[in-house]
Structure 1
Amino acid sequence: MGRGRIKMKQTKYVMSGGLAFDEERDMKRLASLAQKGWLFEKFSPMGYTLRKGEPAHLQYAIDYRKQPDRDYFAYFEEAGWTHEGSAGDSIHLFSAPEDVAPIYSDIETMVEKYRSEQRLMGKSAVVALLFTLVLWWMSQWGIGGLAEGVVSILLVFSLIALVFTGLPYLGYTFKLSKLQK
C-alpha cells in the first residue's frame, strides 16, 4: 500500500474584530499572518479569507472611499501600495512592503477617514432605529394573525440592522474622540 501525500489546506478564514473597533489590530494580524505565508485573498462575511503563499513582510491598511475611480487606485500604487480587495464599493484593503510610508501619517487625514464612516453609519443607524421603533410600536398593537408574524420578522431584521450600524457608529465616534484629544 502506497502512502498518500497529506494535502495542506490552501485557504483559511480569519474573523475580523470589526473595522470600527479593531481596524489597527486586524491590520497587524494580517501582517503577522503574511509573515507566516497566509496572504489576504478576499473579504468574507465578518472576516477575511487568506491563501497559502510565500511568506512576505507586508503592512496592510484600510481606506474608505465610495465608488472610487482609477485615479484613486493609481494614487496608492504610485505610493507603493497594492490594492488587495474591496468590500462593497467603499472599503478597500491595500498592502505594501514594511518600508513603504503608511497611508495615513497625520491625525487630520485619519480624522477625515473616520468622520466620513461615522456619518455613513450614523445615518444608517438612525434609519434602522426609526424602523425598529415603528415596528415595535406596531407589534404592541396586537394586530394578530399573519400581519403580526410579518411585523415580528421585520422587527428582528431591523434590530439586526440597528446593531450592525449602531455599533460601528459608536466605534467610529470613540476612535474620533481618542484622535481629537
Structure 2
Amino acid sequence: MEHKYVMVGGLAFSENSDMKKLENYASKGWILQDIVGGFFYKLKKDKPQSIIYSLDYQNNADEEYFSIFKEAGWNLVVSGGGMYIFSAPAGTKPIYSNSKSEIDKYVRAKNSSKKGVIFSLAMCLPILAFIFLSAIYIKFLFPVSIILLMIDVVVFVFSFMPYLSYKSRIKNCGEKYELTSNKIQAIVFGLIGIAFLIQAIKLLLQKRYLSIVYIILGLVEFSVSVSCYKNYKKQC
C-alpha cells in the first residue's frame, strides 16, 4: 500500500488549516491513517473522497463518548494522548455547533497541556542540581545531565506554547486568532532553533559529541517554525 507523510502544522495553533489540508488531500485520494511521532500525518493512497475532519480533546473517553460521535456520523481515525481526529462525509453536521461546546473542548486541551508544563517545571530543579553535582564531582555524567535539561526544555516548550494557545482560543476563537498564533509560533520556534544551533556550533568548535544533540534539536525547531510560517502565509 502506498503511503505519504505530511508534516503536522501544530494542532494547538493551526487546527483549522490542518483539518482543511487533510480534507484537500482526501479529495486527491490521500486519506489520513495515523500520526507518526507527533510530527507527521501518515496518509494512505485510496480513491478520492469528499470527507471532512474534526479534532477533539477528551481525557476520559468511554464507549458513550464514541457512540455519540458515531451516531452523529463521525468515525474515529486517529487517537493518542487525549486527542482524537474524526472524519465524516462532507456536509455532516459539525461536532461543535456552538461557542460553549467549543470552549469546553479547549478547556480540556488547556488542562492537558498544563500537566506537561507542571511536570517540566517540577523536573527542572532536580536536573539543575544534577548538572551542578556532575560538573563538580562526577564529570563523566555532565553530558548526560545536559541532555536531560534539553529534553526538559523541549517538554516545557511543547507544553507551554499550546497551553497559551488554548487559553487564548477560549477567549477568542476564530481565524484571526489562528493567523496571529501561527506567526508567533513560527518566530518563537525559529528563535529556539537558532539558540540550539548556536550552542551546537560552540560544542563543535570544542569537538564535543554533544553538539549532535543540539543540531538535531535545532533542526526540529526550525522544521516546526517553517511549517507554521507556511500556514501563516496560506491564511494571509
Q: Same fold (TM over 0.5)?
A: yes
Please give the alpha-carbon distance, in whole angstroms, between the structure 1 residues aligned to 2:139 and 2:110. Answer: 40
Large movers: runs of 4+ above 4 Å: none
1:63 aligned residue: 56
**Cα distance in structure 1, aligned partners of 2:40 and 2:165:** 17
Matches within 5 A, 1:134-173: 134-136=126-128, 138-140=130-132, 142-143=135-136, 144-173=138-167
2:58, 2:108 within 8 Å by CA — same for their partners in 1?
Answer: no
* Stretch moving more, 78-87 or 135-144: 135-144
Q: Which stretch of the first structure deviates more once superposed, 137-146 or 117-126? A: 137-146
Equivalent residue runs for 1:26-37 within 5 Å? 26-37=18-29
**1:16 to partner: Cα distance:** 0.9
- Could you tell me how far 1:179 is from its partner in structure 2? 3.1
Length-normalised TM-score, structure 1: 0.85
Q: TM-score, normalised by structure 2?
A: 0.67
Partners of 2:98 and 2:67 lie apart in 1 by 21
Output the amino acid matched with 1:121.
Answer: S
Higher normalized strand content (fraction of residues): 1
Aligned partners of 2:4, 2:173: CA distance in 1, in Å? 34
Aligned length: 172
* Residue 100 in structure 1 maps to residue 92 in structure 2: yes
In the alignment, the residues of structure 2 paired with residue 175 and residue 101 of structure 1 have an alpha-carbon distance, to the nearest angstrom, of 22
Is 2:176 the partner of 1:179? no
- Counterparts of 1:174 and 1:67 in 2: how far apart (Å)? 24
Task: Measure, in 2, the Cα distance between the counterparts of 1:44 and 1:139.
Answer: 32
Residue of structure 2 equivalent to 1:6: none
- Give the Cα–Cα distance (whole angstroms) in 2 for the partners of residues 155 and 123 of structure 1: 18
Q: Deviations over 1:134-154 (max 9, x none)?
A: 433553564351343332221
Gaps of 5+ in 1: 1-8
Q: Find 1:129's aligned residue among 118, 121, 126.
A: 121
Q: Which consecutive unaligned segments of at least 5 residues does structure 2 have?
A: 175-236
1:132: Cα distance to partner? Answer: 2.5
**RMSD of aligned alpha carbons:** 2.1
Q: 51-60 or 9-18, which moves further after superposition?
A: 9-18
Q: What is the percent sequence identity of the aligned residues? A: 35
Taking the aligned partners of 1:173 and 1:66, their CA distance within structure 2 comes to 17
TM alignment of 1:14-25, pairs within 5 A: 14-25=6-17
